[in-house]
């Protein structure tokens, strides 16, 4: 089984990728989408989204990261894919699933699921540009407003030469509301032969097992579930040696990861983003951890990053943790 870490715009960026892959269980990551319009992106743009390009396209824990492109111009996407390969990318992923209204209005993301012919042209053009030994993968939803063309879109992506397809088992209209329609992935498996990866509404080990049974997919992509429970990938793989009988990390161990996350956020992100990113992660963590709820309530009114630092010092003392190792 392969477990992939999902791209999540504004949340699962290179900083959180670094932290989550330290826990283990993840086999590959996909970057946040890099939006391509009608220009050749400068190198600094690719490095902003995926600084792992400077480090062998791996996180600090050694987990591979694949860049993802979003757009509707086949030639421009292919040209930018070629630049990524020159920078060392070990493959390219294409976004046909983003539900953002802004992206969709500009003919990107899940809006392209209304145009299977264009999907085919995009994948085929990128595939011709990227060297044969490197994968060109894609991620799609079941459709824009309904799922009636899901199989048609998957067939178009396969026929164009894609090496792998992640299917988020909801339409754009469904957004992120449960349920995820894993059975529709099974329907797609009946008509395509390329490797499929199931994605959507996997929060627990039981969800992962059920998703695999219903979808028929051996591999899964984890998004919000992994952010809420950083040990989820390990737990799915049955890494008892790491977690014992629990499927979550002990709070003191998770707190140290949150602290490391905060150090990276302060180091790499703009000041006006820093406390917001911390609260954003805590907001999802409190789905699993009561302690995260307490932390979120304590920090929710903080806007100045300097205000958060004393809280970390206090918590480290309360948890009887040793000296901080940055």
**pLDDT attached to residue 244:** 46
The pLDDT score that the predictor gives to residue 326 is 59
DSSP 99-134: --HHHHHTT-GGGGGG-HHHHHHHHHHHHHHS-TTS
pLDDT, one tens digit per residue, over 68-96 is: 999 999 999 999 999 999 999 999 999 99
Q: How many Cα atoms sit within 13 Å of 145 on the Cβ side?
A: 2
What is the pLDDT, as a whole number, of residue 321?
A: 86
Tell me the per-residue pLDDT of 110-119, one tens digit each, with 9 for 90 and over.
Answer: 999 999 999 9
Catalytic center residues = 98
Cβ atoms within 10 A of the Cβ of 176, count? 12
Summarize pLDDT for 118-147 with one digit per residue, the tens: 999 999 999 999 999 999 999 999 999 999
Go through the domains of the chain in sequence order and give each one's CATH number.
3-243 (3.20.20.70), 251-318 (1.20.225.30)
Q: Which ranges in the chain belong to alpha helices (H)?
A: 14-23, 43-49, 74-86, 101-105, 116-129, 150-159, 182-189, 205-215, 224-228, 232-236, 240-243, 251-268, 271-285, 290-299, 305-318
The residues of the chain scoring below 70 in pLDDT are 239-246, 325-326
| pLDDT, position 325 | 63
Per-residue model confidence (pLDDT) at position 246 = 60
Interatomic CA distance for residues 162 and 173, integer angstroms:
25
The pLDDT value recorded for residue 1 is 87
- Provide the pLDDT for residue 240: 39
What pLDDT is recorded for position 245?
Answer: 47
**From CA 78, how far away is CA 127, in angstroms rounded?**
8
Report CA-CA distances (Å) from 139 to 92, 163, 323. Answer: 11, 11, 43
pLDDT at 314: 92
Percentage with pLDDT > 90 across the chain: 90
């Amino acid at each position: 089984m392969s477990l992939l870490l999902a791209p999540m715009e504004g949340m699962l960026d290179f900083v959180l990728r670094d932290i989550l892959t330290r826990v283990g269980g993840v086999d590959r990551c996909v970057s946040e989408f890099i939006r391509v319009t009608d220009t050749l992106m400068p190198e600094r743009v690719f490095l902003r989204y995926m600084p792992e390009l400077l480090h062998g396209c791996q996180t600090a824990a050694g987990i591979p990261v694949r860049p993802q492109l979003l757009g509707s111009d086949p030639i421009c996407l292919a040209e930018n894919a070629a630049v990524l390969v020159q920078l060392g990318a070990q493959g390219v992923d294409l976004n046909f699933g983003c539900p953002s209204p802004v992206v969709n209005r500009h003919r990107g993301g899940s809006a392209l699921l209304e145009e299977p012919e264009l999907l085919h042209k995009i994948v085929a053009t990128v595939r011709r540009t990227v060297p044969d030994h490197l994968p060109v993968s894609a991620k799609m939803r079941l459709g824009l407003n309904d799922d009636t063309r899901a199989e048609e879109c998957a067939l178009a992506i396969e026929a164009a030469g894609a090496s792998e397809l992640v299917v988020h088992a909801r339409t754009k209209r469904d957004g992120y509301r449960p349920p995820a329609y894993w059975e529709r992935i099974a329907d797609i498996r009946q008509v395509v032969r390329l490797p499929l990866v199931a994605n959507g509404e996997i929060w627990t080990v039981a969800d992962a097992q059920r998703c695999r049974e219903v979808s028929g997919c051996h591999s899964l992509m984890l998004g919000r579930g992994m952010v809420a429970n950083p040990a989820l990938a390990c737990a799915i793989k049955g890494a008892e040696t790491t977690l014992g009988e629990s499927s979550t990390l002990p709070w003191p161990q998770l707190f140290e990861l949150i602290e490391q996350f905060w150090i990276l956020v302060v180091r790499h992100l703009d000041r006006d983003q820093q406390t917001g990113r911390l609260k954003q992660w805590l907001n999802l963590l409190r789905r699993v951890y009561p302690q995260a709820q307490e932390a979120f309530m304590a920090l929710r009114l903080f806007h100045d990053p300097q205000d958060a630092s004393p809280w970390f010092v206090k918590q480290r003392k309360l948890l009887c943790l040793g000296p901080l190792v940055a």
